[in-house]
Homo-oligomer: A and B are copies of this chain.
Amino acid sequence: MASDIRNAVIDFSRMTASAVAVVSDVVRGGQPLVGFGFNSNGRYAPSGILRERMIPRLLDARPETLQAEDGTNIDPVKCRHVMMTNEKPGGHGERSVAVGTIDMALWDLAAKIEDRPLYRLLADRYNDGRFDPKVEVYAAGGYYYPGKGVDQLRDEIRGYLDMGFEAVKIKIGGAPLEEDVRRIEAVLDVVGGEGRRLAVDANGRFSLSEAIRYAEILGPYRLKWYEEPGDPLDYALHSAVAEVSTVPVATGENLFSTVDARNLIRYGGLRPDRDVLQFDPVLSYGLVEYLGTLEMLARHGWSPRRCVPHGGHPFGLHIAAGLGLGGNEAYPKVFQPFGRFAAGTTLDRGFATLPEAPGIGYERVPGLCDIFRSLVE
């Protein structure tokens, strides 16, 4: 998924992703059912960990250690347990991406075996049958790239609005403050001056003093949120920023386990009435771990509505709909074909509908379906 964009910290010219297929022995219409998964952007393909540890452990496991009790379906919770055999605690990164990539494919497969879209399976199993028929999404873009000026940024944002997005996100921290302010004001102009339609993302770039300075400058614009002001593991910095920022603070995409997420909640000083948690289920050991994170959040008084996952993948869209999250990221112009919606998804005033195909619906995502098909041919 290489591209020439960059944020405040990295460029994506050599970015990679892993794609996996889990082929079952459940046959429908003469074909075995297959689950598909990939890892979302920002973290590299965990190829070695998949090939040397996670895939061999699953292939070596006895079937009953992977199946639901009645043997009619795969059990992603049991599979997670098998994948994490002989793995020490701590060190949540890379490994978490490998497990999450397979976890996505397992949930896709489980929903296909039940012959229904994943969000309905999740709603029935974990949300008393309740689901959101559409999910609020925002267009993550506004990256820096060579030669891109404010005019190109305006054009990009207009493009998102034309697609049906209401809210957008742009990068900050990769240019001098004055230039970032010009970029923010230009985008606000395009979205009708409404701060709630623009989020900004520093990708963890700032020191404590820079993070606080930006918080004070951003305040009057009443933005949607101020994302990753500093190092994702610097909870004291987040606590200080939350103390001064009138704009909601968003973070979590670079915390890859429930115990790391719990530290953010314990020590990060975030405000359950407004701040936004962006843990990405794929990068952090999959939906099995994410369910534990939601339980942990509930114990600390946080609603799932405060969660808006990073990653811009249809898996996140199903999770948001089925578990009642606050929304999902979207990458309408970057990380293609991994950022695309499934064909048939409608986008209206910032809300996306869910695909009704069994599973996650990757068979209907242009470009992505070809990558997945190549895995099983």
Chain A window 271-291, contacts with chain B (Cβ cutoff 8 Å), 1 for yes, 0 for no: 000000000000100000000
In chain B, what residue has the closest Cβ to A254?
B90
* A45-B49 contact in complex given A91-B92, A92-B93, C-beta closer than 8 Å: no
Are A90 and B47 neighbours in the complex by a CB distance under 8 Å? no
> Which of A53, A91, A231 is packed against the most chain B CB atoms within 10 Å?
A91
Q: Which of A212-244 contact B (CB under 8 A)?
A: 231-236
Bound together, the chains give a CA A47 to CA B50 distance in angstroms of: 11
A371 within 8 A of B: no
Q: What number of copies of this chain does the assembly contain?
A: 2
Question: In the complex, what residues of B have CB within 8 A of residue A234's CB?
Answer: 259, 262
Kindly list chain B residues whose C-beta atoms are within 8 Å of the C-beta of A231: 89-90, 259
Residues of A240-270 whose CB lies within 8 A of B? 254-257, 259-260, 262-263, 266-267
**Of B9, B48, B88, B255, which one neighbours A46 at CB under 8 angstroms?**
B48
Per-position 1/0 for A74-105, Cβ under 8 A of B: 00000000000111111111111000000000
Q: How far is the CB of A1 from chain B (nearest CB, A)?
A: 13
Are B48 and A256 within 8 A (Cβ)? no
A62 in contact (CB, < 8 A): no
Q: Which residues from chain B contact A9 at a C-beta distance below 8 Å?
A: 88-89
Which residues of A (95-141) have their CB < 8 Å from a CB of B?
Answer: 95-96
Q: How far is the CB of A85 from chain B (nearest CB, A)?
A: 8
The listed residue (B10, B44, B90, B95) touching A233 by CB distance below 8 A is B90
Asked if A16 is at the interface of the complex by the 8 Å CB criterion, the answer is: yes
Chain B positions within 8 Å of A88 at CB level: 9-10, 42-43, 203-204, 254
When distances are taken between beta carbons in the complex, the residues of chain B under 8 Å from A203 are 88
Task: Give the chain B neighbours of A233 by CB distance below 8 A.
Answer: 89-90, 92, 257, 259-260, 263
A25 an interface residue at 8 Å Cβ cutoff? no
**A185 interfacial contact with B, CB 8 Å:** no
B11 and A86 form a contact (CB under 8 A) = yes
Partner of A94, one of B51, B95, B257, B262: B95
Cβ of A49: which chain B residues have Cβ within 8 Å of it? 44, 48, 94
Set of chain B residues within 8 Å of A13, measured between Cβ atoms = 86
Contact B254 A91, beta carbon cutoff 8 Å: yes
A284 to B, closest residue via Cβ: B91
How far, in angstroms, from A204 to B43 measured CA to CA in the complex?
27
Encoded as 1 (CB less than 8 Å from any B CB) or 0, chain A from 12 to 24 comes to: 1111100000000
Question: A377 in the interface, Cβ–Cβ < 8 Å?
Answer: no
Q: How far is the CB of A312 from chain B (nearest CB, A)?
A: 16
A351 CB, min distance to chain B CBs, angstroms: 29
| B residues less than 8 Å from A90 (CB atoms) | 93, 204, 231-233, 254-256
Given known pairs A44-B53, A48-B48, A233-B263, the reply for A204 and B95 (CB within 8 Å) is no
Give 18 new A-B contacts, CB below 8 A, not counting A11-B86, A233-B260: A9-B88, A12-B86, A14-B86, A42-B88, A44-B49, A47-B48, A88-B203, A88-B204, A89-B232, A89-B233, A90-B232, A90-B256, A91-B94, A91-B254, A91-B256, A92-B233, A235-B266, A235-B267
- What are the 9 A-B residue pairs with the smallest beta carbon separation, nearest first? A48-B48, A91-B93, A90-B254, A94-B94, A90-B232, A93-B93, A10-B86, A89-B204, A233-B259
Residues of chain A at the chain B interface (Cβ within 8 Å) = 9-16, 42-49, 51-53, 85-96, 203-204, 231-236, 254-257, 259-260, 262-263, 266-267, 283
